[in-house]
Amino acid sequence: MITLSTDVLVIGGGATGVGIAWDGALRGLEVILVDRKDLAEGTSGRFHGLLHSGGRYAVKDPRAAVECIAENRILRRVAADCVEDTGGLFVTTPFDDPEYADRFLQGCRECDVDCEEIEPAEALRSEPRINPGISRAFRVPDASIDVWKTVWAMSHGAQQRGARILTYHDVVAVHRDGDAVTGAHVRDTRTGDELDIEARITVNATGAWAGRVAELAGIEGVRVRPGRGIMVAMNHRLVNTVVNRCQLPTDGDIIVPIRTVAVVGTTDQGTDDPDDESVHQSEVDAMLDEGEKLAPGLRDARALRVWAGVRPLFEDAKADDSATRDITRAHTLLDHSQRDGVARFITITGGKLTTFRLMAQETVNAVCRQLGEERQCTTSSVPFPGSESGQTYRLGERLGRKEAALTDVQVICECELVPLSKLEEALERTGTTILDDIRRQLRLAMGPCQGGFCIYRATGVMHELDSLSAEQADSSLRDFLQERWKDLWPVLHGDQLRQARLDDWIFQGVLDVGHLPS
Ligand SMILES: Cc1cc2nc3c(=O)[nH]c(=O)nc-3n(C[C@H](O)[C@H](O)[C@H](O)COP(=O)(O)OP(=O)(O)OC[C@H]3O[C@@H](n4cnc5c(N)ncnc54)[C@H](O)[C@@H]3O)c2cc1C
């Protein structure tokens, strides 16, 4: 069996884990990162898309608010290409307690969240879809962040500095030598191959799964309570600013414009299982009803898909009975040598996607302390690969550039303007045979047709490039369609139902995907 060795083994390839790999590599540490799936296939790839200003937590969770605004300012600089500066609005609708607005303003002041009150008429001029009955409105520096670009940029940067990123590698055992963790045993979920990784320090960055991985190391009581939330993507940007109801966070009270869509969210239900991605029709209906209070007419707009993610909410012993919305959104770092007498093992969990850089910084600081080495963190000043210009992402600009270039090239996905050359380049670079990996990397099939017109083309390209045999191509296509279906059925009505029927004709009627020749 192969044995690899490294300074730091990071378990978990969400934003936090990849942030740790990037930070560690920048500090000159040898890093291996493993994830049981693709990068950001856990909560990071199933979040709402909001780069928090902190406004949402300013009243109830000031520590989280302070961390969010500080990180928001840093990420706009170092991860500029991943951030769209949409700005944010908090508005008091006729359904909200009018007294909350003053507490909100005060909370923002105390947490250093930039907040300016504007006339409701001005808010309505900039966002005409929101409730015309709003009585107060506040501008905050909310933004949207593209998580796929974020993790791929950090992962490329880390790999350029020698880090090894092993996706589809599941940690099945954590090795102990007496009171110290010495690495892990991992299984390649695609080939079944197994390998050992010896590490000077092992970091558990598995978010909602952190309790389970700690148990593999023989450590009990790392209690992470998964808080499941659903989100619905609408097929165009109903709003161009992040709009929030000015009230304590609740279901369906925020709409985030991200790329070509707007995402309505979210719910928060405690669950025992971090793999619980279930979506119930009643939740979707209730959330859209709530969303209607913020943006009347939302229910009649076309919904594209719905998905669920689980928040990693770390509980201390006193918080047993609290609802998941009441658990702090700030993060927790556990140095197990101090907490459990187990050396060379660190857990980082909780927090927000917005605070992943800070979480990574504190984790690598703890790694360096355990190694007895002093290495400065530079992630607040070194730009991610692709963000060197410091220019935040602007939807219109990129579309203009793409339109100019795309007249001469073959387009595979019209909704997201993905050219053939990009698909071929991604297939060559990643070597993946999984269509869903390509979807996340290129946003292929993320638009209104949800793959109806592009996914069979992409499958054909993979087959032609010899990445897939005919048999593998067929099964890859079927897996993709099955996954899509899970996200589609709860929103099938109106135009999206017509689209689904058309897609069904293409795949079942014309291609007969159930019986393709092998
Ligand atoms: C509904 C919802 C909406 C949200 N919206 C926002 C938002 O708008 N803005 C914001 O800032 N935050 C938001 N969050 C919070 C944010 O998404 C999370 O805090 C963040 O993504 C957690 O990242 P992570 O890297 O710590 O965990 P994850 O992204 O979950 O990464 C953990 C990784 O560990 C891997 N793993 C688990 N077990 C193993 C194993 N045995 N071996 C190998 N790998 C393993 C998993 O595959 C996973 O990839 C939201 C969360 C939810 C649920």
Residue 10 host element (H or E) = strand 2-11
Cα(198) to ligand 1 centroid in Å equals 25
SS3 category, 207: helix
Cα(270) to ligand 1 centroid in Å equals 15
Do the Cβ atoms of 221 and 336 come closer than 8 Å?
Answer: no
Ligand 1 atom nearest the C-alpha of 49 is 8
Would you state the pLDDT for residue 516? Answer: 77
* Residues recorded for the chain: 518
Q: What is the pLDDT along the chain (518 residues), one digit of tens a residue?
A: 899 999 999 999 999 999 999 999 999 999 999 999 999 999 999 999 999 999 999 999 999 999 999 999 999 999 999 999 999 999 999 999 999 999 999 999 999 999 999 999 999 999 999 999 999 999 999 999 999 999 999 999 999 999 999 999 999 999 999 999 999 999 999 999 999 999 999 999 999 999 999 999 999 999 998 999 999 999 889 999 999 999 998 888 999 999 888 999 889 899 999 999 999 999 999 999 999 999 999 988 899 999 999 999 988 644 444 556 556 678 999 999 999 999 999 999 999 999 999 999 999 999 999 999 999 999 999 999 999 999 998 887 767 777 776 666 788 998 888 989 999 999 888 888 889 889 988 989 988 888 999 999 999 998 888 778 888 888 889 889 988 888 888 888 888 888 888 998 999 888 888 887 76
Q: How far apart are CA 299 and CA 346, in angstroms?
A: 45
Amino acid, res. 487: D
Which of 34, 352, 362, when mutated, tests ligand 1's pocket best, judged by the most ligand atoms within 8 Å of its CB?
352
The residue with tokens 């795309």 is 406
CA dihedral 420, 80, 138, 115 (to 10 degrees): 170
Cα(482) to ligand 1 centroid in Å equals 23
393-413 exposure pattern, b = at least 16 Cβ within 10 A, e = fewer: bebeeeeeeeeeeeeeeebbb
Q: How far apart are CA 309 and CA 279, in angstroms?
A: 10
Cis peptide upstream of residue 392 (ω within 30 degrees of 0): no
Which of 155, 172, 209, when mutated, tests ligand 1's pocket best, judged by the most ligand atoms within 8 Å of its CB?
209
Give the pair of three-digit tokens for residue 75.
């990420």
Ligand 1 atom nearest the C-alpha of 208 is 30
3-state SS, 98-148, equals: CCHHHHHHHHHHHHCCCCEEECHHHHHHHCCCCCCCCCEEEEECCEEECHH
Do the Cβ atoms of 213 and 11 come closer than 8 Å?
Answer: yes
Would you state the pLDDT for residue 250? Answer: 87
Cα(255) to ligand 1 centroid in Å equals 20
Q: How far apart are CA 412 and CA 453, in angstroms?
A: 8
3-state SS, 317-384, equals: HHHCCCCHHHCCCCEEEEEHHHHCCCECEEEEEECCHHHHHHHHHHHHHHHHHHHCCCCCCCCCCCCC
Ligand 1 atom nearest the C-alpha of 309 is 53
Ligand 1 atom nearest the C-alpha of 329 is 19
Cα(76) to ligand 1 centroid in Å equals 21
Would you state the pLDDT for residue 323? Answer: 57
| Residues contacting 450, CB < 8 A, separation 6+ | 304, 305, 484, 488, 499, 503
Would you state the pLDDT for residue 141? Answer: 98
Give nearest CA residue, ligand 1 atom 46.
42
3-state SS, 236-304, equals: CCCCCCEEEECCCCCCCCEEEEECCEEEEECCCEECCCCCCCCCCHHHHHHHHHHHHHHCCCHHHCCEE
Give nearest CA residue, ligand 1 atom 4.
47
Q: Quote the Cα angle for 364-369-374, to 5°.
A: 85
Residue 84 host element (H or E) = strand 83-84
Cα(350) to ligand 1 centroid in Å equals 9
Which of 39, 43, 243, 334, when mutated, tests ligand 1's pocket best, judged by the most ligand atoms within 8 Å of its CB?
43
Give nearest CA residue, ligand 1 atom 48.
42
Q: How far apart are CA 11 and CA 36, in angstroms?
A: 9
Ligand 1 atom nearest the C-alpha of 50 is 8
CA nearest 12: which of 156, 230, 165? 165
Name residues contacting ligand 1 (CB within 6 A). Answer: 11-17, 34-37, 41-44, 47-50, 52, 170-171, 205-209, 213, 229, 231, 266, 309-312, 351-354
Domains assigned to the chain:
85-142+225-313 (3.30.9.10), 397-515 (no CATH)
Residue 307 host element (H or E) = strand 303-314
CA nearest 54: which of 296, 496, 352, 389? 352
Strand partners, 308: 230
Ligand 1 atom nearest the C-alpha of 45 is 29
Give nearest CA residue, ligand 1 atom 3.
47
SS3 category, 2: strand
Cα(47) to ligand 1 centroid in Å equals 8
Which of 86, 311, 328, 440, when mutated, tests ligand 1's pocket best, judged by the most ligand atoms within 8 Å of its CB?
311
The residue with tokens 């980082």 is 348
Cα(42) to ligand 1 centroid in Å equals 5
Would you state the pLDDT for residue 328? Answer: 65
SS3 category, 181: strand
Give nearest CA residue, ligand 1 atom 41.
171
Ligand 1 atom nearest the C-alpha of 41 is 49
Q: How far apart are CA 274 and CA 392, in angstroms?
A: 33
Would you state the pLDDT for residue 320? Answer: 43
Cα(207) to ligand 1 centroid in Å equals 5
Q: Is the CA virtual torsion 178, 181, 183, 184 positive or negative? A: positive
Other C-beta atoms within 10 Å of 329: how many? Answer: 24
| Residues contacting 41, CB < 8 A, separation 6+ | 13, 35, 440
Ligand 1 atom nearest the C-alpha of 348 is 26
